[in-house]
Each structure stands twice: as C-alpha cells, then as structure tokens.
C-alpha cells in the first residue's frame, strides 16, 4: 500500500487515460488534485491518438504521449522506449489489461482500477501497490478516478479542467446559444426534427444560434439540414470548422448550450455554461456532465428523474419515460449504431420547457 510520506520520493507521474475524448476530460480532476498539493511534480498523460484534445492548454500537464488504439509493432516498441521505467509512479484510470501493462512498463510503483476480483485480475492486483474496484454503475467517473488519491492522502478536488484555446476566435457581439446536435454514436442521437424545433425556439428568444459539430460527414449533414430548414442571419453553422479548444472559448461567453451525451456537453458543463444535456439509455449517475463548482464528493445525479434533474449549471433531461429507461445498453438493438426509442420519442415540447426553465 502506498503511504502519503512515500510520495515525497515521487516526482514524475504517468497517468494512463487511453479512453475517448470526453472520458479523458474527466481524468483532469485527478491530475489537478495531485498538482495542487505537489506543484513541482511532473505529470504526463498517455492517451489514444486524436483523443486528447481536451488536454490542450492544461497547465497541470507537462506533455501528452499518444498511441494508436491498435498500435503496430514498431509503434508499440517506440512507446516502450519512451516510457520504460521513466516514471516514479504510474496510475491507470482504466481496468483493462492493456492500460495495466502500460503502467507496469512505465514505473515500479503503480496504482489503478480493477474491474473485479477474480483469477483473471490477479496479475493486475499483484502488479499494483494500490488498487480500487471499479464501480461502473453507482459512482460517477470523476469520483471514481478521485478514489485513486486515497492512499496518498491528497484532498480530492472534483473540478473538471477544460481545454484552453491558444488562438482565440472572434466572438459574436450579440447574445448567443450553442447547439451541438450530433453525438459520436447513433444510439445517443435525438431527431433532426427535434433539433430544428429547439433551434427555432432559441431564435424566437432573440438569441443568435451557433451550430457545432465534428469534422465528419454525419455531423456536417445534420447541421446542414437544420441550417437549410431555418436559414436566417441569426443562425451560424460552424460544424467541422472549429477546434475543440476554440469551441471552449465560445462556450465561455455563450448564454446557453444544448447537446446530447457527448464530449462537448461535458466540456460545456465544466466551463460553467448553462448546459442542457439530452440523455437516453446511458447511465446519468456514471456519465452525467459534471457540473461546474460542484465540490461535493457525492454523485451529482440520480438514476432517473422527471421532467428533468438539475445540479448547478447543468440540467439533464432524459428520454421518454419508459420502464426500461435507462437500460445502460447501446440502443434498442444493443450496438452503437442502433436507435434508442426513448430518445426518438422524446417530445420537443418537453425539451423546450426545460430551455425556458433555464433561460
């Protein structure tokens, strides 16, 4: 077991966060908590290639090391050369085999998450000087990561640190809202008609509306459909035209943000923008956008609440109330590209009521 005084000899730390974009953002409270108590320590992060944009401009981190999700042999051997015993401590925020192996390579002192106690995980438990069980249902991801601080006697600071833009774009001179309609996976999607109704309502509130999305054909198509239907001088389509950190700069001044269960919604919440998140089958207790200025080490959300639930600057509206909601599955057909009826049947009028409540 790692003791707090043991930390005096630890100066270089590798945090392993080989996850998706939004998940990486939720590792920042762990990093920030360490850096707050030990400002002179060096912290690097190992993450997937093109998944670490949320760490841009983060002053708590020295550098980000990236690797492919399925690295070729040469890429893997190059990584080994870069990290092998280069750190005093490695911390894996995932319970998988590969992250634990990376932790074993990087340092002699290791900490991490374990998904269960079984003979399959025996080598991970033996490899780590400290480990804690992953609770994938009843503990928010931010709070789960912060549990790794317990043996170090470092106070947990549940503050998500958003990225910071180096090149700051010019902002609209009038009041504006940001609408981010498209998630990465189909099972988290709402309807285009629903988004059109929401945008039309925001325009009626004398707000300029900015549509945002990733530089993908799907995101650009959805935003184009909304833009074409409601074309006017107060609707701007920036899908595929802004970097994540630049979008964060917009969010600092936005009057309001609405989006599905996706990384940009997490960022909006962390920045402190009024955030309306649309959730369907996903577990809001585990994955709800962590509110700004929420300093309690308790889950901010409950499993299910209607017509919505609010914590600080975040309101979560869940899909149509069905007995199966939330099912924790990847859509009704249980794969990422399947539909979720609870979201498809969500009435735009219910979402508009939540918008008026927030505005």
pLDDT tens for each residue of 35-64: 999 999 999 999 999 999 999 999 999 999
4-152 and 176-358 in the same fold: yes
Whether this prediction's pTM lies above 0.75 is answered by yes
Residue 175: predicted pLDDT:
95
pLDDT tens, residue by residue, 268-317: 999 999 999 999 999 999 999 999 999 999 999 999 999 999 999 999 99
User: Which pair of structure tokens corresponds to residue 332?
Assistant: 């009704």
Query: How close are the terminal C-alpha atoms of the chain, in Å?
Result: 49
Count of C-beta atoms within a 10 Å radius of residue 332:
18
What's domain 176-358's superfamily in CATH?
Answer: Glycogen Phosphorylase B; (3.40.50.2000)
The residues spanned by each domain of the chain are 4-152, 176-358
pLDDT tens, residue by residue, 164-199: 988 888 889 899 999 999 999 999 999 999 999 999
Residue 109: predicted pLDDT:
93
* Rounded CA separation 54/161 (Å): 9
61 burial class (0-12, 13-18, 19+ CB within 10 angstroms)? Answer: buried
Average pLDDT, the chain: 94
Rounded to an integer, the average pLDDT of 16-31 is: 97
Distances (CA, A) of 242 to 174, 235, 262: 19, 16, 16
Q: Which residues pair with 63 in a beta bridge?
A: 44
Q: For domain 4-152, which CATH number applies: 1.10.10.60, 3.40.50.300, 3.40.50.10580, 3.40.50.2000?
A: 3.40.50.2000
């Amino acid at each position: 077991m790692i003791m707090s005084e043991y930390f005096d000899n630890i100066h270089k730390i590798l945090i392993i966060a080989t996850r998706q974009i939004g998940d990486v953002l939720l590792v920042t409270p762990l990093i920030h908590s360490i850096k707050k108590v030990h400002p002179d320590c060096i912290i690097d992060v190992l993450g997937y290639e093109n998944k670490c944009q949320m760490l841009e401009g983060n002053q708590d981190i020295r550098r980000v090391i990236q690797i492919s999700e399925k690295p070729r042999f040469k890429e893997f051997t190059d990584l080994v050369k870069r990290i092998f015993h280069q750190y005093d401590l490695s911390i894996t925020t995932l319970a998988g085999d590969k992250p634990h192996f990376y932790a074993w390579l990087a340092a002699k002192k290791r900490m991490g998450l374990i998904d269960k106690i079984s003979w399959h995980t025996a080598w991970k438990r033996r490899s780590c000087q400290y480990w804690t069980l992953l609770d994938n249902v009843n503990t928010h991801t931010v709070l789960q990561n912060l549990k790794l601080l317990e043996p170090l006697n470092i106070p947990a600071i549940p503050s998500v640190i958003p990225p910071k833009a180096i090149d700051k774009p010019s902002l609209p001179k009038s009041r504006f809202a940001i609408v981010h309609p498209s998630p990465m996976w189909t099972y988290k999607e709402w309807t285009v008609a629903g988004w059109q109704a929401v945008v039309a309502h925001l325009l009626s509130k004398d707000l300029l509306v900015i549509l945002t999305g990733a530089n993908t054909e799907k995101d650009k198509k959805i935003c184009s459909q909304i833009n074409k239907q409601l074309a006017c001088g107060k609707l701007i389509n920036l899908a595929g035209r802004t970097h994540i950190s630049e979008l964060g700069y917009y969010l600092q001044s936005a009057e309001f943000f609405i989006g599905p269960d996706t990384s940009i919604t997490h960022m909006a919440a962390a920045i402190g923008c009024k955030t309306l998140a649309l959730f369907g089958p996903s577990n809001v207790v585990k994955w709800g956008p962590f509110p700004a200025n929420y300093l309690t080490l308790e889950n901010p959300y409950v499993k299910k609440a209607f017509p919505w639930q609010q914590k600080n600057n975040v309101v979560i509206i869940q899909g149509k109330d069905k007995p199966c909601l939330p099912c924790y599955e990847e859509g009704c057909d249980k794969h990422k590209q399947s539909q979720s009826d609870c979201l498809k049947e969500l009435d735009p009028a219910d979402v508009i009521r939540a918008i008026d409540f927030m505005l």
